[in-house]
A and B are shown apart, each in its own frame.
Chain A
Amino acid sequence: MTMTLEAPVPVFEDEGSGRKLAIICSKGSLDMAYPGMVLANAALGEGIETHLFFTFWGFDIINKETMSHLQFTPLGNPATHMPPMLMGLPGMTSFATHMMRKQIEGIDVPDIPEFLEMITDSGGHLWACKMSADMMHLEPEDLYERVEGIISASDFIELSEGAQTIFI
């Protein structure tokens, strides 16, 4: 007769692993904004401390004026597999943006503002780059209210100590 063994218990807490993730978002187009959001959200769901640092064009993701209107352009993007001549036609960017938004919504992935809300509700930290804010003449009140601060590059280097860093 074989004995039935007690079921294993999954290991959920990697105590002391202290894994930390820093994601630098430097692009503000729709297709370049999502990878950072998806990775941050996944890391948080795994209990990993996660920081997002928005710089240069990535500022569009946290700028109240632009965050809901990020665009995707097929122009100069060979991955669309479309004739380059056509991609520069008027209206192509808004058409492609519309299509991509529909596809994203179709797989039940939130838009950018909701995604940022979910990330911060999950304990994620949002930081804005000081140099970009200065260049674009933006103040804290111009930014998504859950951005924790406008910080310098060296502040970011300090807070990302020991973190795996991803540049997008």
Chain B
Amino acid sequence: MSTATIGGHDVHVDQEGFMTVYDEWTEDLASTLAANIDIELTDEHWAAIRFIRDDFKAMGETPTLRRVTTVGGIPTKRLFALFPKKPAKKMAYIAGLPKPAGCV
């Protein structure tokens, strides 16, 4: 874990570039992170990001895709459309959270 800048802010990130300190994340940063991976955030993206941020805070771990669907109420198909190919990791990256650890 080291300090690096994202959008002009000093933050802690891991080797891959995932932010590692929950409270360093801001909504402004999210837009920069999303742009880094060619995603333009819409309201639907925001709903997913806010859900996984809140869920992380409550549960202490990044929710799996299934949880975003069953608890967060966002259909799996939409998640793949919003965050193509690797939705769980892309969501976590934009939301400033670690990659989900669960198998399912």
**Interface residue A88 (Cβ < 8 Å from any Cβ of B):** no
1/0 per position for B55-98, CB-CB distance to A under 8 A?
A: 00000000001110100000111001000111111100100000
How many A residues touch the partner, as a band? 20 to 34
Given contacts A8-B4, A45-B86, A47-B86, contact A121 B17 (CB under 8 A): no
User: Nearest chain B CB to A108's CB is how many angstroms away?
Assistant: 7
Question: A81-113: which residues lie under 8 A (CB-CB) from chain B?
Answer: 108-110
Given contacts A122-B76, A122-B80, A123-B80, contact A9 B36 (CB under 8 A): yes
Q: What total of A-B pairs shows CB separation below 8 Å?
A: 71
**Interface residue A55 (Cβ < 8 Å from any Cβ of B):** no
Q: Does the CB pair B104–A110 fall under 8 Å?
A: yes
- With a cutoff of 8 Å between Cβ atoms, the chain A residues found around residue B90 in the complex are 12
- With a cutoff of 8 Å between Cβ atoms, the chain B residues found around residue A108 in the complex are 66-67, 102, 104
Q: Name A's B-contacting residues (CB within 8 A).
A: 4-10, 12-13, 38, 41-42, 45-47, 108-110, 118, 121-123
Q: Name B's A-contacting residues (CB within 8 A).
A: 3-6, 10-11, 13, 15-18, 36-37, 65-67, 69, 75-77, 80, 84-90, 93, 102-104
Return 16 A-B CB contacts under 8 Å, by A number.
A5-B4, A7-B4, A7-B5, A7-B6, A8-B13, A9-B17, A10-B89, A12-B93, A38-B103, A41-B104, A42-B103, A45-B86, A47-B85, A108-B102, A109-B104, A118-B76
